[in-house]
Amino acid sequence: MKDTAISEGARRGMADAAGWQAVLDRNRALFAPLSDGARIGLVSRGGADGPVSDLDGPMLVWAVTRQGARAEAAAFSGFQEAGVDLLLVADDAILAGLHARLADDALPDLVKRINRKEVAVFYLRARGELDDLGYEELFDELGISFMGACR
Amino acid sequence: MTLPGEKQFPNLFQEAQFAGFKLANRIKFGACCVSNFNDRDGFISPRELARTKVISETGCGMITNQGAYPDPLGEGKGYFSQIALYDDKFMPQFEEIAGYIHDAGAMAIQQILHAGRYGGIDIGYCVQPSTVPQTLPHFRPPREMSKEQIHECIRQHADACERAIRCGYDGVEVTSFMGYLLANFLSSFTNKRTDEYGGSVRNRGRFMVELIDEIKQTIGDKPLIIRLNGAELMDKWGCNSEDECFEQIQMAADAGVDMMSITVGWQEAPESSIGRDVAPGHWNRLAARCKKMLPDLPLAFGVRLPDPEMADKCIADGEFDFWEVCRPLLADPQMVHKARQGRLDEVRRCVGSLNCLSRLFRDLPYTCTMNPTLGHEYEPEYSITPAVTKKRVMVVGAGPAGLECAIAAHKRGHEVTVYEKSDRVGGALRGYAEHDLANKDDLRSVIAQYEVVIARLGIEVKLNTEPTPKMMRTLLHQYDVVVLATGASTDTGALPEAEDGAPVVDALDIAVNGAEVGNKVVVVGGNKVGLTVAESLSQRGHEVIIVERGKRVADDVSPTWKWRHKAWIEELGIESVTGVRVAALTGAGVTVMNGDGSERTIAADSIVLAGPRRPNQELYNDFLWMVDEIYMAGDVHAPRDLTQAIHEGYRLGCRI
Ligand SMILES: Cc1cc2nc3c(=O)[nH]c(=O)nc-3n(C[C@H](O)[C@H](O)[C@H](O)COP(=O)(O)O)c2cc1C
Ligand code: SF4
């Protein structure tokens, strides 16, 4: 997947750290169980049929610090180098939709799309490490622990 | 003598030739590799041997033994106690199983299973063609295989196959089900390699072709079966298209496999492949496509195809050659015999509950909703043995727990009478069956099977008869044992008393007795009962809101089914109000109190009470001094589910 395949709208959405910061501030409780150092990334796969395991381009990071979760713009150039614990992958249209909803809280919509598997979630750390970072409660809230295997 | 089923299903019970073997019929037991009954170090346990003996005697013409991982490091080990075949030290138990299968007159196949992306359970990482991370949190982080490791892995597969043949197996099988190593190489989702093992469809198929080649060279003229996906169901995330899957199926055929088995889906696939929400026969088209493409290659198929009648027709129509069955034979190991004898109506059908797989993924031994003896085959406590003292047994309640108990106790020689207050057997299960959005026939089949079996056994069922203390006094000394299987009901005492005029109706009244409700419905309780009724009402056009005290709905639903309810309520547009306490049930609706103490009223034409639930134990104390022995089975202990009801009823019937 080439960086250029990402639309301008999605790019703007991910670069809008201030807008996302407002969402994180509004959902402080959701991120409270996470330890200092926990990091979640959000990237685009381009179009709805763009591959999700072959990415590169801008990344929005939610970095948890002692002061709370901070939204930061970053770049993604591969799973190994991503430096995040979870990576959320959405298509451009979803990202644009989320961006348009930042003011009235995009998070419930994001959670819904994760549950519908319209947004892919990659786990870049082992389960034990994620638990140590306090992710268990977040998974519960996001409904991720419901997803199970083999349907 | 021709048995009725042989006439009814002439294709299924037709003898067949495969790789020089004569098979009694066209039924292949599909590998259920993983039971988690074995030792942690890969050795097959006595518990597994006992289960496998039962499997051997299922009457299938071909039996595939569970998949063994082939490498000493355990990179291929996907399950807590998966069996291993990387060393001769494991061979004695494999030999024993091959012996069981041959004693039963079947062809014995050993599956080799390297779990790839889902492997490495003991070592904290898994191996894959590329390092595409996991999309389910419980699997291990990936490491990319070097070319040397690929060659070594292929060699290990061939060695394990060679060992299987030395153990007496007639053939071997490798599997890509359900997203294991073979699938990881084949799929564009997990194979991002830039060398000759990645890139084009054919390059991604290279690992498979080399694997086939090496195994074929090692096992000589013994047959090799391969299980490949007809569809990965990962399309949303850029996996192989169906056409690409079929191109690789063709590659496997060209490489010389002796039989193809088509499977569907990956463990992490966003879509269902084998759950109850998939209609039986849904995937048959993939088999038909394969058969059309490869008419001369024997084809086994059976994904979510639980019905012998449908399987027989598929073979007649040339869609596949062998019916490959897994879960239906876990649910009822006698299914093939019953079908042959013309007793299909006595078969305990797999209801697609996925209890089996849910437990595997929790690292627990699997159990089956419909088969309480699965995994307990060598425990006398789970066998139907003649009762030493014949007793007169009164069973109160004709739901699954009561009927299981009645059937087992009757078979042991007890004189059993079932009392049921309604005019039908089935209990609350009837309500679930009629309101189940997935596939009503699955749960209905459980009740239908009970009706047939109790009639054939001649068990007396007194319908429309509710035992009371008064009635019991007239029956003193007529029964030695009372079994209470009276289920559970809504605990109205845990809710505020309904005010005059509050349009309150019990969920079970709707589910079982068809009580009517108004247009706007508030369902109190977001667990199994509440969700089932809410979904059904919503589907019938009612406007439904669920009110739940807990933080989430579906808390009592099994892990592999929670997502299904969540998806349904979202699809149906059912609002769920969680984390609130019901403060009042009034003529206007339900008043709820939020965590901060604020209140609001949700308007309703009908208020459906679905939770919390409480066990119906009232009769216990009443009867305690009126009978020699008194027991309880099923939800009357504590409200749970169908699995527990069946298992408890059966175990009690074996013990009385
Ligand atoms: C508990 C369980 C374990 C399984 N393990 C394996 C396995 O190790 N290898 C394999 O190829 N298929 C495995 N399967 C898949 C079955 O062989 C079969 O393809 C699948 O369950 C669909 O068929 P069914 O609807 O007849 O169950 C397993 C299925 C179950 C239920
Ligand atoms: S547990 Fe459920 S899905 Fe599994 S075999 Fe039994 S009835 Fe079928």
Interface test with B, best of A52, A53, A56, A118 (most B CBs within 10 A): A53
Whether residue A145 has pLDDT greater than 80: no
Q: Give residue B558's pLDDT band: very low, low, confident or very high (50, 70, 90).
A: confident
What would the CATH number be for the domain defined by A8-141? 3.30.1050
Q: What is the ipTM of this complex?
A: 0.93
State the number of CA atoms in the 13 A half-sphere of B548 facing the CB. 22
Residues B417 and B467 in one domain: yes
Q: Residue A147: its pLDDT value, please? A: 55
Rounded CA separation B620/B630 (Å): 8
- Residue B368 falls within a domain, yes or no? no
What's the CA gap between B616 and A9, in Å, rounded?
59
* Amino acid B407: pLDDT: 98
Query: Is residue B19 in a domain?
Result: no
Name the range with the highest mean pLDDT among A103-112, A123-132, B404-413. Answer: B404-413
Q: Is beta strand B259-264 parallel, antiparallel or unpaired with respect to B299-301?
A: parallel
Query: How confident is the model over B486-536, as pLDDT tens digits?
Result: 999 999 999 999 999 999 999 999 999 999 999 999 999 999 999 999 999
Residues B478, B576: one domain?
no
Domain containing B480 — which CATH number? 3.40.50.720
Q: Which residues contact B286 (CB under 8 A, 6 or more apart)?
A: B230, B231, B242, B262, B264, B301
Quick one: B139 and B240 in the same domain?
yes
Cα A106 off chain centre by: 12
Domain at B601, CATH number: 3.50.50.60
* Ligand number with the minimum distance to the CA of B368: 2
Sign of the four-CA dihedral B142, A93, B269, B564? positive
Number of structural domains in chain B: 3
Question: Residue B580: pLDDT band by 50, 70, 90 thresholds?
Answer: very high
**Domain range enclosing B560:** 490-613
Cα(B146)–Cα(B123) distance, rounded to whole angstroms? 18
Is B375 part of a structural domain of the chain? no
C-alpha B577/C-alpha A140 separation (Å) is: 17
**Domain identity same for B395 and B483:** yes
Q: What is the pLDDT of residue A1?
A: 53
Is the predicted pLDDT of residue B591 greater than 90, yes or no? yes
Residue-wise pLDDT for B89-139, tens only, equals: 999 999 999 999 999 999 999 999 999 999 999 999 999 999 999 998 889
Tokens of B228: 């490949």
* Rounded CA separation B578/B581 (Å): 9
Indicate the residue type of B222. Answer: K
Q: Quick check: A51 pLDDT over 80? A: no
Residue B560 confidence class, pLDDT cut points 50, 70, 90:
confident
Q: State whether B475 and B518 are in the same domain.
A: no
Quick check: A80 contacting B, CB < 8 Å? yes
Is any atom of ligand 1 closer than 6 Å to the C-beta of B64?
no
How would residue A105 be classed by pLDDT, with cut points 50, 70 and 90?
A: confident
Average pLDDT of chain A, as a whole number: 87
Q: Are residues B472 and B554 in the same domain?
A: no
Least confident range of B255-264, B352-361, B453-462 = B352-361
Nearest CA distance, B417 vs chain A (angstrom) = 40
Taking residues B391-405, report their average pLDDT: 98
Ramachandran angles phi, psi of B163, nearest 5°: -65, -40
Query: What's the CA-to-centroid distance between A124 and ligand 2, angstroms?
Result: 33
Q: Which residues of B touch A30 (CB under 8 A)?
A: none
Is the model's pLDDT at A149 over the cut of 60? no
Burial class (CB in 10 A: 0-12, 13-18, 19+), B516: exposed
Same domain assignment for residues B185 and B290: yes
* pLDDT value of position B23: 98
Structure tokens at B565: 């309810």
Nearest to A52 among B237, B272, B559 (CB): B237
Q: Do B391 and B328 belong to one domain?
A: no
Average predicted confidence (pLDDT) for chain B: 95
Question: What is the predicted pLDDT for the residue at B34?
Answer: 74
Extract the tokens encoding B112.
Answer: 């080799």
Question: H or E stretch including A123?
Answer: strand A120-123
Residue B333's contacts (CB-CB under 8 Å, 6 or more residues apart) are B54, B55, B57, B58, B371
Per-residue confidence band for A14, with pLDDT thresholds at 50, 70 and 90: confident
> 3-state secondary structure string, B20-48?
CEEECCCEEECCCCCCCCCCCCCCCCHHH
How far is C-alpha B58 from the geometric centre of its chain's CA atoms?
18
Asked whether residue B325 is assigned to any structural domain, the reply reads yes
Instruction: Judge if pTM exceeds 0.90.
Output: yes
Percentage of residues in chain B with pLDDT exceeding 90?
91
Ranking A147-151, B372-376, B545-549, B604-608 by mean pLDDT, the lowest is A147-151
Which residue from B283, B326, B350, B364 has its CB within 8 A of the most atoms of ligand 1, so it is best to mutate?
B326
Average pLDDT over residues B221-249: 94
Q: Same domain for B214 and B327?
A: yes
CA dihedral B165, B169, B172, B178 (to 10 degrees): -130
pLDDT-based confidence at residue B301 (cuts at 50, 70, 90): very high
B266 pLDDT higher than 70: yes
Task: Verify that B287 and B389 share a domain, yes or no.
Answer: no
